[in-house]
Amino acid sequence: MNVMEEVDVTEKKGTLSVFEQASKMGHEQLVYCHDEATGLKALIGIHNTVLGPALGGTRFWNYATEEEAVTDVLRLSRGMTYKAAVSGLNLGGGKAVIIGDVSKLKNEAFLRRFGKFVDSLGGKYITAEDMNMKTSDMEYIGMETNHVTGLPVEMGGSGDPSPVTAYGVYVGMKAAAKKAYGSDSLEGKKISVQGVGQVGMYLTQHLAKEGAQLFITDINQERLEKVSKDSGATIVGMDEIYDVDVDIYAPCAMGATVNDETIGRLKASVIAGAANNQLADEVRHGRMLIDAGIVYAPDFVINAGGIINISSELAGAYNKEQAYSWTEKIYDTTQNIFKLADEKSIPTQDAAMKLAEKRIEDIGRVKLSM
């Protein structure tokens, strides 16, 4: 049986139904995808398409519960809307999550079946790679739909977006260092990087090249040892990372690591990383960071290099130099957000969201005008 259906309003998550959650966060659509033959269970969240089709990667994760997957896809797809808007792109926000054990489920038929679900949305959602997905996976998905990006360079695509994402985080981190320390130099700065997957690994290369002193952690011990050898970073424990005496904390794995429990433990004066949805509670924890004197570079601003890279691919023939040039503008965007936050006495997360929402509202009026 193949199923593609809208959200069941009777399904509950706490005191809110799934429909109520999606409506509260401003989503246009939440799609359930199921294919019994391949074992595919996936969700596609389409948050906002005022600026253009919803673009966002597909994340493959073995969620503890389906409710966790719903929460993740809603938050991630909304973040993509803000990411595209604040970066000046004519794209909306979407995201997909595939539920299950990647080592047991992922194969050609599985990925092609997911591609057919993406294709059935008629271009309203464009997918790309995310956690536990690779460029080669996009090839399989691309066999069933044209609404896929991040294809190999030899196929005319932009390839792995991780290096460009990492570069954007790097320049955003430098802007945050300028705000906190008066200089954007990272030489000699002690920086903890939580998660050294593709983006985290490339980020350590930039930081090591500039002469930063690095502390890293990850669930993958083999990768940790490789990155440590290449960058000279010190390996620390998964929980220990919050207590290391550093200048900058860079969360580059799962979200919500900036929370009630960790904020009091962090020694850093700057938080700037690649992870999505770093604040467990955007309102409360944004305020707590102000009270703690910590400069926060909003995640959806500085990790936008990936979507900027893909937008270059969507514009026609992929131009790597152009993608990096556009990504470098993250430095100025981040500084503008710090300025607005100071002027309004609001958290930087709020300032970034206000800029994004204003652009969506302004362009929405343009599209409606005669």
- 253 in helix, strand or coil? coil
Decide: 42 and 96 in contact? Cβ < 8 Å: yes
95 is an active site residue: yes
Q: What is the CA radius of gyration of the chain?
A: 20
- 60 in helix, strand or coil? strand
DSSP strand pairing (54-55 vs 92-99)? parallel
Distance CA 151, CA 149 (A): 5
Distance CA 306, CA 133 (A): 14
Paired residues of 235 in beta bridges: 216
The b-or-e profile of 61-71 (16+ CB within 10 A means b, else e) is bebeeeeebbb
Decide: 54 and 92 in contact? Cβ < 8 Å: yes
Distance CA 179, CA 167 (A): 19
Spot the catalytic one: 95, 106, 124, 178: 95
Measure the CA angle with vertex 110, ends 12 and 55; round to 5°.
65
Paired residues of 248 in beta bridges: 191, 270
The b-or-e profile of 156-179 (16+ CB within 10 A means b, else e) is ebbbbbbbbbbbbbbbbbbbbbbb
Catalytic sites, residue numbers: 95
